[in-house]
């Protein structure tokens, strides 16, 4: 497994690509209102990305048809934007990728539409809080498996479970690079596998299920739900390891 170590000038290029992702996500969060259609929100984010000189990197990636993954309610990741208009009490995850000057950005948020239930508030908070907990835990020399275990323990401590078979990942001159970073310990030994080093850039993205970690891919070949049929949530940042700790690149 060859995990790239990025030079400071490369990290700044990745930061520039990711800053546009952060801005697009902020724009979507501000416009997540009753009556907004998923296709309108997708077009709004694509316009924002292109107006900042970048390309929406998800559009056409592996055949995905849109700029934004819009994952509504039971859909946890990879939702295809539709004509559906948001309703009070919905929750939605937005996942956005960009390419700027050959470097990639990637981040995600989940938000509620209007007033949402306490259960959905807790579900979204688990995704966000587990992400920030993971980022705070990262230090040079720890193993990626230790990071995966820390994420899993946090999620389970909140009474939820991580989605299986999907994971965080390296990022750089491609949208997905080594390593794969599951949100759970894969195997039994957290002290195995590659170590985190200065210069590594990767995406951490907790994907939260309520009861069952097993994923089911729907008929459109994209939308991923849990086998429990319940609502899920998703949060993601791109981080760079600088001076021994993780710095978030995907903030507006």
> Could you report the per-residue pLDDT of 103-136, keeping only the tens digit for each?
999 999 999 999 999 999 999 999 999 999 999 9
Considering Cα of 239, then 240, then 245, then 247, what sign does the dihedral take?
Answer: negative
198 band by pLDDT with thresholds 50, 70 and 90: very high
Residue 159 has pLDDT above 80, yes or no: yes
Residue 222 has pLDDT above 90, yes or no: yes
* Residue 221 CB coordination number (10 Å): 11
Rounded Cα distance, 83 and 123, in Å: 25
> What pLDDT was estimated at residue 28?
98
- The pLDDT > 90 percentage for the chain reads 99
- pTM of full prediction above 0.95: yes
Kindly list the structural domains of the chain, giving each domain's residue range(s) and its CATH number in brackets, ordered by start.
8-248 (3.90.230.10)
> Could you report the per-residue pLDDT of 166-176, keeping only the tens digit for each?
999 999 999 99
1 band by pLDDT with thresholds 50, 70 and 90: low
Burial of 187 (C-beta count, 10 Å sphere; 0-12/13-18/19+): exposed
């Amino acid at each position: 497994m060859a995990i790239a170590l990025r030079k400071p000038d490369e990290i700044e290029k990745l930061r520039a690509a990711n800053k546009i992702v952060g801005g697009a996500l902020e724009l979507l969060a501000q416009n997540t209102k009753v009556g907004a259609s998923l296709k309108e929100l997708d077009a709004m984010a694509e316009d924002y990305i292109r107006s900042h000189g970048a390309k929406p990197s998800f559009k056409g990636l592996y055949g995905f048809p849109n700029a934004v993954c819009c994952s509504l309610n039971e859909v946890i990741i990879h939702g295809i934007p539709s004509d559906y208009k948001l309703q009070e009490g919905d929750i939605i995850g937005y996942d956005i990728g960009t390419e700027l000057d050959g470097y990639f950005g990637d981040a995600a948020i989940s938000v509620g539409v209007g007033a949402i239930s306490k259960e959905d508030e807790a579900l979204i908070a688990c995704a966000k809080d587990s992400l920030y907990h993971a980022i705070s835990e990262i230090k040079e020399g720890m193993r990626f498996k230790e990071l995966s275990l820390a994420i899993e323990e946090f999620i389970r401590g909140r009474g939820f479970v991580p989605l299986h078979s999907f994971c965080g990942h390296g990022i750089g001159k491609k949208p997905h690079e080594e390593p794969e970073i599951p949100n759970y310990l894969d195997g039994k030994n957290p002290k195995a596998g590659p170590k985190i080093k200065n210069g590594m850039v990767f995406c951490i993205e907790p994907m939260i299920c309520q009861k069952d970690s097993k994923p089911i891919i729907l008929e459109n070949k994209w939308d991923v739900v849990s086998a429990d049929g319940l609502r899920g949530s998703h949060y993601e940042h791109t981080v760079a390891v600088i001076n021994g700790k993780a710095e978030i690149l995907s903030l507006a």
